[in-house]
Amino acid sequence: MTDPDFPTSARAPEPLRVVVADDNPVVRAGLTALLTGRDDITVVAEATNGREAYEAARDHRPDVVLLDVQMPGVDGLAALPHLVTLAPVMMLTYSRESATVEEALRRGANGYLVHGEFTAAELVAAVKDLKEGKPHFTATAAQTLLRNLRGGGVDSQQHTEQSPPRAPSATPLSQMQPPVAQSSGRVSGRKGTAGFQLSTREAEIMDLIASGMTNHQIAAACFISEKTVKNHINRIFAKLHSTTRAQATAKWLGVT
């Protein structure tokens, strides 16, 4: 019989297990560092494309999967129908097009966050809520949902009630072959840091500049302030003898 006056040690809950899937190593490292630095969340695996994400989810059985859209080989949308059978999936991406948001939700995504539209604290809250079945959407995705709701009339609603839409059939991952050459929308090659004497962080930021990101997006991806981004860019421009992003990008990619 337990003495009610005798203190008992409560067992700490197991940390929430997360798989992070993004082909950008800077974004992936930032997300992993942010989430793993907590007692209640841990990143159990990282992935660079949809196939790796599925394999990681199958092997580790995470509580949540954070999934990018544009990745080489099997992208996020292609892998999504497979992943949602294993764990709740939150899209975490720079892709803000309405069609992409709609397709992700149609394929089973439980939330959609666009980089630059959330803080680190909001990301942590979204991951925890997703485990509890509470979806999260940043402004862009929420606007898409609102447009859909406003655009769907009575006839559409009645059709939905009579015949609920079926989830799209998923092509087996084993049958998905990456194209011979596929771009993820990000910079895939550069001259390197040696000739310009850029630090590792400066090289990472220059890669993001060359991929077309704004200072706000870079700050969100690297989990630093916009002021810090501007300081890095000033040093980068000085080392690359450039005064504009276009000039710096041309030199960085070796096309000058």
Residues 119 and 205 occupy one common structural domain: no
Residue 214, in any domain of the structure: yes
Residues 122 and 205 occupy one common structural domain: no
pLDDT score, position 8: 54
The enclosing domain of 244 has a CATH number of: 1.10.10.10
Q: Give the angle 234-238-244 at the CA atoms, nearest 5°.
A: 70
Residue 8, in any domain of the structure: no
Residue 6, in any domain of the structure: no
What residues does 45 pair with on adjacent strands? 19
Residue 38, in any domain of the structure: yes
Q: Which domain holds residue 73?
A: 16-152
Distance CA 74, CA 49 (A): 6
Q: 12-16, 105-109, 164-168: which has the minimum mean pLDDT?
A: 164-168
pLDDT above 80: residue 138: yes
Residues 26 and 86 occupy one common structural domain: yes
Residue 45, H or E segment: strand 41-47
What residues does 161 pair with on adjacent strands? none
pLDDT above 90: residue 61: yes
Distance CA 123, CA 121 (A): 5
Please, are residues 199 and 232 in contact by the beta-carbon 8 Å criterion?
Answer: no
Residues 29 and 145 occupy one common structural domain: yes
Distance CA 142, CA 131 (A): 20
Residue 163 banded pLDDT, cuts 50, 70, 90: very low
pLDDT per residue as tens digits for the range 198-237: 888 888 888 888 767 788 878 777 778 889 999 999 999 9
How many structural domains are present in the chain?
A: 2
Alpha helix (H) ranges present in the chain?
25-36, 50-60, 76-83, 98-106, 120-131, 139-151, 154-162, 200-210, 215-222, 226-240, 245-252
DSSP 76-142: HHHHHHHHTTTS-EEEEES---HHHHHHHHHTT-SEEEETTSS-HHHHHHHHHHHHTT---B-HHHH
**Percent of all residues in the chain with a pLDDT value above 90, rounded to a whole number:** 32
Residue 134, in any domain of the structure: yes
Residues 118 and 31 occupy one common structural domain: yes
